[in-house]
Structure 1
């Protein structure tokens, strides 16, 4: 699972200052900065035991990191530094770069003491000409994590994504061309691997789950109120859930995209919505209707927010209230259930015309800040539509999992962007504002970003 693949982000902390700009305070700044940086348990700080002041030391630093993989270079200008040093470092170490300038000492009519911002200015020019991606922060060591936190979160997510493996069970559902995906482009951009799994393998495994295994997990299902779901449907749902878990372990999967209709209802007699709900709650993030890009979007939002996202359709909007309703059949994680509400295992609202076969997990979703996005493919590769808003108190408006959102942007312009830019009909909603994090992630990966004005 994804939780087992997370590793600390390894940051190469490299303090720079030309010899003639290095003073006693510079050494103190280095020591205090290392102390502050190592307070974050999510990162590992690796650093040479000196301040890089010249080209020879730059080459020595490169040699130091030759056998030590780093995920990002944090270049700290504790004094002015010429461009030759960053050129040597950037050529030898292929990691993203963060330039860090510190506040200038008080000016009292004497010599300029630090000249840190000017150093970042010069070195940013050089990195730009070298075609390197970089970020810039301006901060004292005391508040460095306030400025560094977002970028580290994004780079940590990108590091984990390169180890992600998604199981595609079956294929996309009939006629949903929106669920097509470019497998090699996905591998190139994110490093994500797709494991193809047949419905035959899944059902073969489900039919052979030992009764004792069913008995162990059954209370998780029977503890939930049922609405017309039969014992047979419940046991089948348990069998499928356990089969999904076994396949996830076998193939080392972090998520699924599952062809949820019409084969399951036609051949196995039930829908798999509740199984997806439980899997996502377990940390095996799962999208329905065979949409790999939807699963990718959910996994990205999960890594950035720590919250299980909601895979959904956008089904109604109100220009006067500037709201929109998102919904899906009943596969939302129970962690998203509205406060004070208990979910129910129900018959599916659509299979065979509705209310004939189980099993969905129905409840309205909870309130709070949300991020709304659509990840897919445009004419020039991957792209992301991004918006934010507030999830409003929502009743069980229809069967499944409804949620009413008041958008921060203009909902009419959002709808027109969706329609005229040709976005697919599946969206990811996560209960946290990760708008800025997603924006930065797109920047690092050169993914086209589309937003709508407020």
Structure 2
């Protein structure tokens, strides 16, 4: 994943101690670049841009704004190194209103002989934050810290993930492959509201176009050959006819081409039953492979489902592909556990053992076994997970978020699945029911509740956390 560019605003106010401000500025830079340099490019003013490389007045603010725009920063971190000039900070924030903004107050240095204070960040931060509040500029507060504190590392790490979510979510282009299933009103979406609120675009592609392009590809196409070999070497294909592997490889080749040409971050796919009837396979494993590679792919043309996956994947900084799930059944004996399941679309890297490529356990009844191959099946690995779901009603977007634990427990199920235990399943389920959340969700390995909830605040999305 490309490094995230964060603009660092070192705020100072005369006549407080500029030597202390400079020392603290350098300490923040050293810690941020030393601990997080693999993920972050830190952009900040030097003596070439502002007085002493600090931001103390309107001229410094304008120079910093110019620098940040030239470097294309994606989030702003402000620190009141001393009292901090509230108007200089507010001016920078005005220019980047709507971007993720994180504010730190700083701890006080020892008082000088004679009782002279050097910083007063505790006081000045209130001036800065009230200035942003007055201007209705959303921001996050990271606490009162020294850069070496564990609290700073925790908040800065979370902010990196928040900014990662923001930069992928705003302006996201989602592919829509075919219409939604007729009886699935649950996956409706409002394209105009996506554009209005988040500058997003739904890119429509017909299923016929995809199928015809896949059919035209020769078996010897280099990309088809590469993908087919990759499938055969990564999962158990012993139960699947050879021609199915080629069909899957051709479908994946076409979808990857569409994603690249149309600059998509993900796609919602019409996965039954036309693709089985007219192309002869189930696309589940293809969707899982796309998700594994960073192209978020949801079943049943669930566009808000794709956006939920984008939020989770970018919260993990591209390290953990999500699993697009159904809330399926309750565990027969563990009252707080449910079956996180779907037909066979889990990313292959999430299985506790290599998945088995099989025929669709539901669609075969309608189209026959020979036309329904393409699901990757088996149990997923145990670990901590975050479960989320984005919905929208009357133009208001809201996001369900909870955490749970995928269990180490065998069972006999078809599809991709794992038992997941949450602290209070009754409360989770009642919340889903009463708040209008649908039967689809996205599950990602890792605990990303904090950055997801804070990113939602910046994006203007209401959160429902259980």
Number of aligned residues = 444
**In 2, Cα distance between equivalents of 1:64 and 1:289:** 44
Partner deviation per Cα, 1:155-208 (whole Å, 9 max, x = no partner): 122113335332211021121111111123223434333221111111111111
1:330: how far off?
Answer: 0.6
Partner deviation per Cα, 1:391-410 (whole Å, 9 max, x = no partner): 001325311012101103x1
Contact 2:323 2:444 in 1 (8 A): yes
Aligned to 1:186: 194
Aligned to 1:72: 75
Q: Normalising by the residue count of structure 2, what TM-score does the alignment of the two structures yield? A: 0.88
Unaligned runs of 5+ in 1: none
Aligned to 2:212: 204
1:403 to 375, 394, 418: 418
Please give the residue correspondences for 1:14-413 in structure 2 after superposition, counting only pairs within 5 Å. 14-39=9-34, 40-48=37-45, 49=47, 50=52, 51-62=54-65, 65=68, 67-94=70-97, 95-107=99-111, 110-137=115-142, 138-143=144-149, 144-162=152-170, 164-213=172-221, 214-223=224-233, 224-226=235-237, 228-305=239-316, 306-318=319-331, 320-338=334-352, 341-353=353-365, 356=369, 357-408=372-423, 410-413=424-427
Unaligned runs of 5+ in 2: none
Q: Normalising by the residue count of structure 1, what TM-score does the alignment of the two structures yield? A: 0.90
**In 2, Cα distance between equivalents of 1:269 and 1:69:** 46
1:373: how far off?
Answer: 1.4
Contact 1:370 1:390 in 2 (8 A): yes
Please say which of residues 30-39 and 257-266 is displaced more in the overlay.
Answer: 30-39
- Indicate how the Cα distance of structure 1 residues 200 and 102 shifts in structure 2: closer, same or farther if over 3 A, else same: same
- Indicate how the Cα distance of structure 1 residues 220 and 303 shifts in structure 2: closer, same or farther if over 3 A, else same: same
Aligned to 2:447: 433
**In 2, Cα distance between equivalents of 1:323 and 1:244:** 35
**In 1, Cα distance between equivalents of 2:62 and 2:344:** 58
1:78: how far off?
Answer: 1.6
Partner deviation per Cα, 1:214-246 (whole Å, 9 max, x = no partner): 444333333443464333333322322222223
Contact 2:335 2:425 in 1 (8 A): no
**In 2, Cα distance between equivalents of 1:216 and 1:100:** 49
> What secondary structure, in the 3-state scheme, does the structure 2 residue paired with 1:423 have?
coil
